[in-house]
Each structure stands twice: as structure tokens, then as C-alpha cells.
Amino acid sequence: MLEDIKEILITEEEIKNKLKELGEKITKDYRDKKDVLLVGVLKGAVLFIADLIRHIDLPVQVDFMAVSSYGASTESSGVVRILKDLDENIEGRNILIVEDIIDSGLTLSYLYNMLKSRKPASIKICALLDKPSRRKVKIKVDYLGFEIPDYFVVGYGLDYNEKYRNLPFIGILKEEAVKAAN
Ligand SMILES: O=P(O)(O)OC[C@H]1O[C@H](OP(=O)(O)OP(=O)(O)O)[C@H](O)[C@@H]1O
Ligand code: HPA
Ligand SMILES: [Mg+2]
């Protein structure tokens, strides 16, 4: 796996420090809110949400949605497929969507609008990575880890063709590795 990585963009240590910062900010902002539900977006956000909730000092609940739009490509198909919906009703609840990356923005824009139509009390977005140079639709991010340049990145939950999710850092994939998998 490591031989397919061109460069480490964000180290394990940098991720750890950022999560602490984000968790503290979320704890402060949501202190007076009741019924806070974190919605993790599978599969990419699994590592992020698992580590982030350990830094949130509030009685939050967690649910997941599974969506997929990339498949075995480095370009979004533009079609967001819902593979698993939330288990619970979100009407009147305070929703924080937790995503690993905002690239074209198509996934989050779709999810945000869909969840908003279910009448939550509030809805905000927390994303570990933002690649603004590739944006196709406007997204307002409330909590952001890192802004990154236009590279296809893997690790810490992010995959290419379902591989590399278990790397502990965020790395740039070598172009040969992209070709080899196709
Ligand atoms: O802003 P966008 O261009 O829509 O890209 C971001 C989305 O793409 C990836 O998901 P993917 O479809 O690869 O599913 P996965 O999380 O299961 O890997 C990523 O985890 C985000 O959900
Ligand atoms: O750079 C990326 N890496 C992995 N998955 C992604 N989904 C959107 N952008 C990316
Ligand atoms: Mg993916």
C-alpha cells in the first residue's frame, strides 16, 4: 500500500490535533442544544467520526447514511446513490453531518437538501477535508479540518477503488497506482 503513495499530505499527528480542536469547538457551540445527532456518511467518514466523537463532551447520538458516487473512479459520477438511509426520524433534532471530504460538493449538496426537507431544528456540516478547486455546487461548511489542493487523496477512511482506507494519514496517490487499478 505504502508504495502507491507519492507523498503524505496530512500526518497522523496533524489529524489528531485538528480533531481535538474541532471537537472542542463543537462541544462549545452545541452546549445548550438538546437532541444532537451526528450523521456520519459511510464509508469514507468512518474513521473521522469515530475519532471526532471522543473529543465531543456532550450526550450526542450517532447515526449513519451510506452513499456512493465515485465507485472505481477518481471523478464523481454525479449520481448520488443512497445505499442506506438513517434509522431514525430527524424532525426537530439538531443535525451535524460528518463527512470525510468535499470535492465536487455533489454528495453533500444532495444529502443536505434531502435531510433539510425532513425538518430538523438545525443542520450543519463538519468535513475533514475540502478541495475547493473542484467545486461544482456551493456548500457552506461549518466545521472544517483542512483545505487541500487538487490531488486525489487516500487514507484515514478515504479510498480509491475501496483500497487504502486503513492508512493512518492522508496521502496523495501515485498516478501509476490509479492506472494499475483500472
Ligand atoms: O464532493 P463529492 O465530489 O461528491 O465527493 C465527496 C464524496 O465522495 C466520496 O464518497 P464515495 O462516493 O467515494 O463513497 P465512499 O465514502 O464509500 O468511498 C467521499 O467519501 C464523499 O462522500
Ligand atoms: O480525493 C479523493 N479521495 C478519495 N475519495 C474521494 N472522493 C472525492 N474526492 C476524493
Ligand atoms: Mg470512495
- Nearest ligand to the CA atom of 47: 1
Catalytic-residue membership of 103: yes
Pick the atom of ligand 2 nearest to 160's CA: 4
User: Would 98 be classed as within a structural domain?
Assistant: yes
Backbone angles phi, psi at 12, to 5 degrees: -60, -40
User: Would 42 be classed as within a structural domain?
Assistant: yes
The per-residue pLDDT for range 124-161, each reduced to its tens digit, is: 999 999 999 999 999 999 999 999 999 999 999 999 99
Burial 28-53 (b: 16+ CB within 10 A, else e): eebeeeeebbbbbbbbbbbbbbebbb
User: Is the CB of 70 inside a 6 Å radius of any atom of ligand 2?
Assistant: yes
User: Would 113 be classed as within a structural domain?
Assistant: yes
- Nearest ligand to the CA atom of 69: 1
Measuring from atom 21 of ligand 1, which residue has the nearest CA?
A: 101
Structural domain count, the chain: 1
CATH number of the domain enclosing 123: 3.40.50.2020
User: Would 180 be classed as within a structural domain?
Assistant: no
User: Would 115 be classed as within a structural domain?
Assistant: yes
Full domain range(s) for residue 86: 13-150
User: Would 78 be classed as within a structural domain?
Assistant: yes
User: Would 4 be classed as within a structural domain?
Assistant: no
- Rounded to two decimals, the pTM is 0.95
CA-CA distance, 88 to 110, in Å (whole number)?
19
The per-residue pLDDT for range 53-107, each reduced to its tens digit, is: 999 999 999 999 998 887 777 887 778 889 999 999 999 999 999 999 999 999 9
User: Would 50 be classed as within a structural domain?
Assistant: yes
Measuring from atom 8 of ligand 2, which residue has the nearest CA?
A: 103
User: Is the CB of 43 inside a 6 Å radius of any atom of ligand 1?
Assistant: yes
